[in-house]
Amino acid sequence: MSAKPEDAKIKLPPQTAPADVLFAMRAFARTEDANCVAHKLASYIRLISSVINLERLDGVTVAYDYDAALAELDRGVEGLRTLARSNDDQLVGVAMSPAVLRDGKVKVHLVFSGAYIESIDATPEEDDAEAQSGMQQAIYLIAHECAHVQVTTEKDEAFPGTIFQKQVSSYEEQIFTQINEACWDEYAACRFSAPFGSGHLAYYEEGLRGVVGVARQKAAAARDGFWKHRDLNRIVGELGASMSEPLRMTAYTFGHIDGSNGDAEISQETRQAIEEAGYTEAIEKLVAQLRKLWDERGEWMFPSEFDVLGDVARELFYEEGLLITPNGEGANIQVWDPAMYDGPVAA
């Protein structure tokens, strides 16, 4: 006799989260609230660990003093830059998954802002759409940060001795390595966590439209400012950030799409915004390379395989009058006005 549908059971893969994960609950008004959130969060993380590899999870911090929690996190390595949340007109950080070193092994510690996690302990009524949405957003946030554990694990297994130990050889490499890592890490994390974020694509598309729509205007303003201050480091930061931010948001957007099993696609509104900003070719190149790197997971040989991501940004910089090329431990940086000249004329 065949089983009735209601009798069917789904067997999840084994949980991968360590049994002894420590939870630090900071600046909660009441101990009982901290305990409830910690127990509920631990349950969600263990469930997520059935589909996302959390073997390298170091611990979890939930803090109402989020900025202080980031600044005070012991990462096991001396001399690292103090962690700080993203905080600009496009993004305010509420969670982070930094790598840490414990007994010589690279792991990942999750840090959450308490204000964005507390809703997982709520029991909203079925007709309370706002509360239900808040809970779903919190669960997706947890899954996304958990996905970064697997992303970091895969990179450390592919390139052992690189994280925390390999020194960047030049200023030019540092610039483009940051872009490589930002694009790949967010693409892969979004692709792993997409099943937990149904409906979240709209938020990523909104962010992508926002940054791509102002990228070239910001780049032009940075270039205009350069002729007054003549600070090469400053224009790299200002023009480079404005032109590469749409690539990072593309990684979020298409990582989510590619992880949604064909159930999501980019909207015509976003396609039009990309085209109007002159980013269509760059984004097509970036997405193709991200997908190729994903398909080759487990077969990577060298970190330089990710340089194809930074090369997309390098071409965008050139379009806006900024050329960055290797020069020993530094970089050759040339700036010009693309409306007046075809190539570099000032350094």
Distance CA 78, CA 283 (A): 37
| pLDDT over threshold 70, residue 345 | no
The answer to whether the predicted template modeling score (pTM) of the entire model surpasses 0.85 is: yes
Q: What is the pLDDT of residues 12-44, one digit of tens each?
A: 789 999 999 999 999 999 999 999 999 999 999
Distance CA 50, CA 56 (A): 14
Cross-strand partners of 127:
none
Tokens of 183: 């694009």
Task: For residues 82-102, give the mean pLDDT.
Answer: 84
What is the pLDDT, as a whole number, of residue 168? Answer: 80
Find the DSSP H helices in 194-305.
201-212, 215-229, 232-258, 268-276, 280-295
Q: Which two tokens stand for residue 175?
A: 């610039």
Confidence of residue 128 (pLDDT cuts 50, 70, 90): confident
**Which pLDDT tens digit goes with each residue over 132-163?**
788 889 999 999 999 999 999 999 999 999 99
pLDDT of 278: 97
Residue 2 confidence (pLDDT) above 60: no
207 has pLDDT over 80: yes
- Reported as a pLDDT band with limits 50, 70 and 90, residue 8 is low
Return d(Cα 49, Cα 144) in angstroms, integer: 12
Residue with tokens 């990684």: 251
User: Of 177, 211, 189, which Cα lies nearest the Cα of 283?
Assistant: 211
> What percent of the chain has pLDDT above 90?
79
Pick from 28, 170, 165: nearest CA to 106: 165
Q: How far apart are the C-alpha atoms of 16 and 14, rounded to whole Å?
A: 6
Q: For residue range 178-204, list pLDDT tens digits in order.
A: 999 999 999 999 999 999 998 899 999
Q: What is the mean pLDDT of the chain?
A: 91
